[in-house]
Amino acid sequence: MARISQAEFAQLAHEHVPFVGMLGIQVESLEAGKASIRIPFREDFIRPGGTVSGPVQMALADIVMYAVVLSLIGRVELAVTTNLTCNFLRRPKPVDLIGRGQILKLGKRLAVGEVLLYSDGDPEPVAHVTCTYSIPPTTQEPIAISPSPPTPLPQAGEGSE
Amino acid sequence: MARISQAEFAQLAHEHVPFVGMLGIQVESLEAGKASIRIPFREDFIRPGGTVSGPVQMALADIVMYAVVLSLIGRVELAVTTNLTCNFLRRPKPVDLIGRGQILKLGKRLAVGEVLLYSDGDPEPVAHVTCTYSIPPTTQEPIAISPSPPTPLPQAGEGSE
Amino acid sequence: MARISQAEFAQLAHEHVPFVGMLGIQVESLEAGKASIRIPFREDFIRPGGTVSGPVQMALADIVMYAVVLSLIGRVELAVTTNLTCNFLRRPKPVDLIGRGQILKLGKRLAVGEVLLYSDGDPEPVAHVTCTYSIPPTTQEPIAISPSPPTPLPQAGEGSE
Amino acid sequence: MARISQAEFAQLAHEHVPFVGMLGIQVESLEAGKASIRIPFREDFIRPGGTVSGPVQMALADIVMYAVVLSLIGRVELAVTTNLTCNFLRRPKPVDLIGRGQILKLGKRLAVGEVLLYSDGDPEPVAHVTCTYSIPPTTQEPIAISPSPPTPLPQAGEGSE
């Protein structure tokens, strides 16, 4: 079970991180070590080319990873991002943006996870993000998570880019 | 000389990238291959811990790099970020955030640069960002820039972390 | 079907990239858009702490991604890495190291993939790598691949870090 | 003054990290918070295209950053890389490869630095690397370093790419 509830995290995000709250995020699911968050589309997210801008994508990835980490260590507001690496893969469509994150490693001092971002309704990710959080020393013992299964590989087939 | 003027870039950023424009960016300088942009402090940029949130920092870095690239290739709105890697180094103070970017490599298809972010008045960077832009094939020949000099190394001494 | 055979890739790696060939890599599987490669353990891979050194891990990830890319575009030796980001998650054990890679995006000019590295026999990854290759303009049309399925998330449970 | 001497670090690298030692590294300079290391050219470093392979470049960057960190915290062999991000900028020439690193942030738990790699005799960097090391808790207090000066920006001018 997650150490922070979906409702509690949503409130935390909106009240305590106003800039991110402004994005109108909706926490779709939150379990121990994984989270899914949606940003409803807004016209002012567009950048030249008619695509959702990179900063909106990175903001979503960061808040998804924050949810993933808090789901495992509880409400530790001082956990901070130390590294975020984003590979932008495809131009997002002008629709809702969805971020799905999972933990890769939860250590005593660092948590590493990955987040895939999707345009609503499209199975191909628009961005891949890895993110590291630094966990303050005083944090309680995190809850145990099972080993990550090997990531399944995509099938070659009739699909197209 | 830059291929886009400071005023023209500021207007482009505000009108065509509303989300970034919302940040109230001020283009402080823009030359061929380098740019400096300021985000005036606002209360709603704060995250738990009293520090400017990561997404605001990454949004600034991205727009700085966009300015750096357009300074070399002109107004090519379809240039898009393909990779952004941010190392968060120190908690920013609740003051203006300043991003200073420079080109590392301008190729025909990819431009790579680095951006250092500073809290106004503090010589130590709060974040280091590398950023890659993909340049559309139809772009005119970029202007030549001289080789980057070796980055000078910091001095060991009496300072403190 | 892959555009380069397992045997052909293994020969290419050993003959044409001697430094990587020195690692004694064994191509375990190669399909369109995915690859698995093993490096048999050697004492001289150890770094202080009794763990396989980071450079060996990154060399494996790079060659795995090279295999993934060539499986889709055929024998294009001039494809080159433009970005490699490695998050080291756990200390590898002094055993064989296995890299499993998959394509995230195959474009006309850039290919992005991710590679997870494992100590043989351990289900938890020791490193996560994202890697971008630049594809030369003259390359033939790449074969189509199906959309990547959403990465499954790890289960919370009785496991431990 | 550095907390580890140039000779001591060179010996450590050769004896305790055999794979890296195999590269024949030569420590050119080592001061508190900065290091320069050379890898003499060898034919077997070449990859298709006649260029020094990416893994050799990343191995050099990693050992340079290890030197930078040990110069500040002394001989702490258990310091480990947690993240390495490499942007490959230009094809290295078939000559010696030189890595110059500097600290960006030395904290109690993490050290972040950047390394630029050069082909001997060429002022343009062939790769830019950022690297994070995790520092074991028991380490003695690191020596103080002064704030990094702002990185100077390259000059626009008559040069060429």
**Average pLDDT of span B62-72:** 95
- Interchain CB distance below 8 Å, C85 and D85: yes
Return the pLDDT at C33.
97
The reply to whether residue D110 touches residue A134, judged by beta carbons under 8 angstroms, is yes
Min Cα–Cα distance to chain A from D49, Å:
26
**Facing residue for A85 by CB, picked from D85, D109, D134:** D85
Element housing B9 (H / E): helix B6-16
**Distance between CA atoms of residues A2 and A143, nearest Å:** 9
Residue A98 lies in a domain: yes
Please report the number of interchain residue pairs, chain A to chain D, with beta-carbon separation below 8 angstroms. 13
Which residue of D69, D120, D148 is the best one to mutate when testing the B interface, meaning the one whose CB has the most B CBs within 10 A?
D148
Maximum pairwise Cα distance, chain B: 52
Q: What is the pLDDT of residue B113?
A: 98
Q: How many structural domains does chain D have? A: 1
The answer to whether residue A22 sits within a structural domain is yes
- Rounded to the nearest angstrom, the minimum Cα separation between D82 and chain C is 5
Could you tell me the pLDDT band of residue B26, with boundaries at 50, 70 and 90? Answer: very high
Q: Is residue C64 part of a domain?
A: yes
Query: Residue C50 is encoded by which pair of tokens?
Result: 């009794």
CB-based contact, C26 to chain B, within 8 Å: no
User: Which residues of chain B are within 8 Å of residue D112 when distances are taken between CB atoms?
Assistant: 87, 89, 128
Q: Tokens for A135, please give them.
A: 């966990």
Chain B residues whose CB is inside 8 A of the D130 CB are 85, 87, 128, 130
Instruction: Assess D6–A contact: CB distance below 8 Å, yes or no.
Output: no
Tokens of residue C94, six digits: 């002094």
Cβ contact, residue pair A82, B87, below 8 Å: yes
Name the amino acid, one letter, at B143.
Answer: I
pLDDT tens, residue by residue, B28-47: 999 999 999 999 998 877 76
CA distance A117 to chain D (A): 21
| Of A90, A107, A161, Cβ closest to residue C161 | A107
- Confidence category of residue C150, pLDDT binned at 50, 70, 90: very low
Residue C28, H or E segment: strand C26-31
pLDDT attached to residue A157: 34
* Residue of C80, C81, C83 to mutate, testing the B interface (most B Cβ within 10 Å of its Cβ): C83
- Residue by residue, DSSP assigns chain D as --SS-HHHHHHHHHHH-HHHHTTT-EEEEEETTEEEEEE---GGGEETTTEE-HHHHHHHHHHHHHHHHHHHH-S-TT-EEEEEEEEE-SPPPSS-EEEEEEEEEE-SSEEEEEEEEEETT-SSEEEEEEEEEE--TTPPPPPPBPPPPPPPPPPBSS---
Confidence check: pLDDT of C149 > 60: no
Nearest chain C CA: its distance from B4 CA (Å): 26
pLDDT at B157 over 70: no
Which residue of chain C has the CA closest to B136?
C109
How far is residue C53's CA from residue C88's CA, in Å, rounded to a whole number? 10
Question: Which pLDDT score, from 0 to 100, does residue B48 have?
Answer: 65
Q: How many CB pairs under 8 A join B and C?
A: 13
Is B141 an interface residue toward D (CB < 8 Å)?
no
Stretch C148-158: mean pLDDT = 40
For C85, the domain range is 6-134
Identify the pLDDT of residue A138: 64
**In chain D, which residues have pLDDT < 70?**
16, 18, 47-49, 138-161
Q: Is residue B90 within 8 Å of residue B126, measured between CB atoms? A: yes
Q: What is the pLDDT of residue C159?
A: 34
The chains in contact with chain D, meaning 3 or more Cβ pairs closer than 8 Å, are A, B, C
pLDDT of residue A160: 33
pTM, 2 dp: 0.87
Q: What does the pLDDT read at residue C148? A: 47
The tokens of B54 are what? 């990561």
Average pLDDT, chain B: 84
The token duo for B143 is 């202007």
| Mutation for A interface: C28, C108, C145, most A CBs within 10 A | C145
Q: Token pair for residue A90?
A: 């495809």
Rounded mean pLDDT, C100-121: 97
Residue C150 lies in a domain: no
Q: What is the mean pLDDT of residues C29-51?
A: 87
Cα gap C154→D6, rounded to integer Å: 45
Nearest CA-CA partner of D132 in D106, D99, D158, D94: D106
| List of chain C residues whose C-beta atoms are within 8 Å of the C-beta of residue B109 | 109, 134
One-letter amino acid for residue A3 of the chain: R
**Which chains reach chain B with 3 or more Cβ–Cβ distances below 8 angstroms?**
A, C, D
Min distance B4 CA to chain D CA atoms (Å): 14
Whether pLDDT at C133 is above 70: yes
Q: pLDDT, tens digit, for every residue of B100-134?
A: 999 999 999 999 999 999 999 999 999 999 999 99
Size of interface B-D (CB pairs under 8 A): 157
User: Does the CB of C11 have a partner CB in chain B at under 8 Å?
Assistant: no
Task: Answer yes or no: is pLDDT of B143 > 50.
Answer: yes
CA distances from D17 to B121, C60, C131, D31, D56 (A): 42, 17, 25, 21, 14
User: What is the predicted pLDDT for the residue at A83?
Assistant: 97
The CATH number linked to B57 is: 3.10.129.10
The continuous run of DSSP H or E covering C59 comes out as: helix C54-73
> Chain C interface, mutation test: which of D65, D86, D133, D139, most C Cβ atoms within 10 Å?
D86
List Cβ<8 Å contacts ≥24 apart for A136-141. Answer: A136/A76, A136/A78, A136/A79, A137/A109, A139/A73, A139/A74, A139/A76, A139/A79, A140/A73, A140/A74
Tell me, letter by letter, the H, E, C secondary structure of A2-16.
CCCCHHHHHHHHHHH
Taking 80 as the threshold, does the pLDDT of residue B99 lie above it? yes
Q: pLDDT tens, C71-99?
A: 999 998 788 899 999 999 999 999 999 99
The pLDDT-based confidence of B147 (bands split at 50, 70, 90) is very low
Q: Which residue's entry shows tokens 């024998």?
A: C75
Contacts of residue A138, defined as CB under 8 A and 6 or more positions apart, other chains included, come to: none
Q: Does residue C77 form part of some domain?
A: yes
The answer as to whether B153 is a domain residue is no
Mean pLDDT, chain C, rounded, equals 84
C-alpha span between D46 and D51 (Å, rounded): 5
For A90-124, what is the HEC assignment?
CCCCCCCEEEEEEEEEECCCEEEEEEEEEECCCCC
Q: Between chains, do B16 and A82 touch, taking CB under 8 Å as contact? A: no
Write down the pLDDT at residue B22: 78
Contacts of A85 in chain D (CB under 8 A): 85
d(CA B117, CA B88): 9
**What number is the ipTM of this complex?**
0.85
Q: Report the alpha-carbon distance of residue C67 to residue A38 in Å, rounded.
A: 35
Decide if C139 is inside a domain. no
- In whole angstroms, give the CA distance from residue C30 to residue C3: 10
**CA distance linking residue A9 with residue B161, whole number of Å:** 33
**B151: confidence class by pLDDT, cuts 50, 70, 90:** very low
User: Between B154 and B55, where is the model more confident?
Assistant: B55
Average confidence (pLDDT) over B151-157: 38
The one-letter amino acid code at A160 reads S
Contacts of C132 in chain B (CB under 8 A): 82-83
Q: Out of D78, D83, D88, whose CB is closest to C48?
A: D78
Question: Is residue D147 in some structural domain?
Answer: no
- Residue C151's alpha-carbon distances to A116, A151, C102, C105, D22, in angstroms, are 8, 7, 11, 14, 38
Which among C18, C45, C80 is the nearest to D44, CB-wise?
C18
Q: If you count them, how many residues does chain D have?
A: 161
Q: What's the confidence (pLDDT) of residue C92?
A: 94
CB distance C105 to C155 below 8 Å: no
- A-contacting residues of C 57-116, CB under 8 Å? 83, 85, 87, 89-90, 100, 102-107, 112, 114, 116
A34-39 vs A26-31, strand pairing mode: antiparallel
Predicted confidence pLDDT, tens digits, chain A (161 residues):
899 999 999 988 887 676 777 788 999 999 999 999 999 998 877 766 677 889 999 999 999 999 999 999 999 878 889 999 999 999 999 999 999 999 999 999 999 999 999 999 999 999 999 999 999 886 555 555 554 444 443 333 333 33
Instruction: Give percent above pLDDT 70 in chain C.
Output: 82
Angle at B34 between CA B86 and CA B31, to 5 degrees: 155
